[in-house]
Amino acid sequence: MQFEVFETLIKDGLNNLFDFAVLETHPLLSNGITIPSNFSGNKGEFLKKVLLEAIENLKPAEKFYDINVPEWRVYIVLVKRYLEGMNSFDVAKLLAMSDRQYRRYQKKAIQSVAIIIWNRFIQTTPELIVEKTQDSNNNDFNIFQEEIVLSDVVQGLNNLLATRFSEENVTIKIEEEIKSARVESDRVILRQILIKIVNTLLNYKTKRLTYTIYLFEDQIALSIKSTVQHEGSLLNEGKNEPFENSIWF
């Protein structure tokens, strides 16, 4: 299934979050989302649980609720629109947004939920997603820049992959040389880049990941360090090699 189709199904699932008759036979349940054998409820309850967990995963970590802080907007849009049933006009008014701004945040919110669920159940990283402008040609994209706390994104990623880390006995360490470092980035695209890197490391049977946030020559950097099992020549096969990948802001 293409990610764009999956995203459309997620949007429909959110629109019917409290309609168990719809969720019980929703196409998401036959297109990627599988119910574990030890789940005792019905199909609709499981799908609702998955959607709610994805929304909760987007809640900013260790931050006080504030509708004026950009980091909260995606989460607030999801809660107000789909959990509390507020209409789009009232949500936009609450957040002091124009209609265009609200539609962008709503699309970003749905896309974020879709990425979380896609990576939880399908476990292949979709291609990096950028939002095309309506009046642009095929080479122009609109990157959704915002100020984000880098450690929050890392912690959110760890929460998302916690089950897999536990199953594969992977230990995680976060080192912050700069506390609560803030960077300008697209939160969804950054999350996808990190997921792609970490999934690659997990495929190489890594057992330890270390994230380091530091400052170098006036630039903030996020380093991901690990040791991976070499799968090259027969001479080196089975040996462990250090791995480090850094993202600069």
Handedness of CA 175, 177, 181, 186 (dihedral sign): negative
Q: How far is Cα 104 from Cα 75, in angstroms, rounded to an integer?
A: 13
Q: How far is Cα 206 from Cα 123, in angstroms, rounded to an integer?
A: 17
Name the DSSP class of 84. Answer: S
The larger pLDDT score, comparing residue 202 to residue 229, is at 202
pLDDT at res. 177:
81
Query: Among 26, 75, 227, which Cα is nearest to 84's?
Result: 75
Q: How far is Cα 93 from Cα 91, in angstroms, rounded to an integer?
A: 5
pLDDT at res. 240:
63
Residues 10 and 110 in one domain: yes
Backbone angles phi, psi at 242, to 5 degrees: -70, 150
Residues 8 and 86 in one domain: yes
pLDDT at res. 236:
42
Number of domains in the chain: 2
With a pLDDT cut of 70, the percent of the chain lying above it is 84
Read off the pLDDT of residues 147-171 as tens digits, 9 standing for 90 and up. 788 888 888 788 777 877 888 888 8
Q: How far is Cα 136 from Cα 221, in angstroms, rounded to an integer?
A: 32
Residues 219 and 170 in one domain: yes
In a domain, 132, yes or no: no
**SS3 category, 226:** strand
Residues 240 and 191 in one domain: yes
Residues 46 and 113 in one domain: yes
In a domain, 133, yes or no: no
In a domain, 172, yes or no: yes
With a cut of 90, say whether residue 217 has pLDDT above it.
no
Name the DSSP class of 72. Answer: G
Task: State the residue range of the domain holding 34.
Answer: 3-121
Residues 111 and 151 in one domain: no
In a domain, 211, yes or no: yes
With a cut of 60, say whether residue 242 has pLDDT above it.
yes
The CATH number of the domain where 226 resides is what? 3.30.565.10
With a cut of 90, say whether residue 49 has pLDDT above it.
yes
With a cut of 80, say whether residue 120 has pLDDT above it.
yes
Residues 28 and 117 in one domain: yes
Residues 157 and 218 in one domain: yes
Q: How far is Cα 181 from Cα 208, in angstroms, rounded to an integer?
A: 23
Read off the pLDDT of residues 54-94 as tens digits, 9 standing for 90 and up. 999 888 876 677 787 788 889 999 999 999 999 999 999 99
The larger pLDDT score, comparing residue 187 to residue 105, is at 105
CA 102 to chain centre: 20
The CATH number of the domain where 29 resides is what? 1.20.140
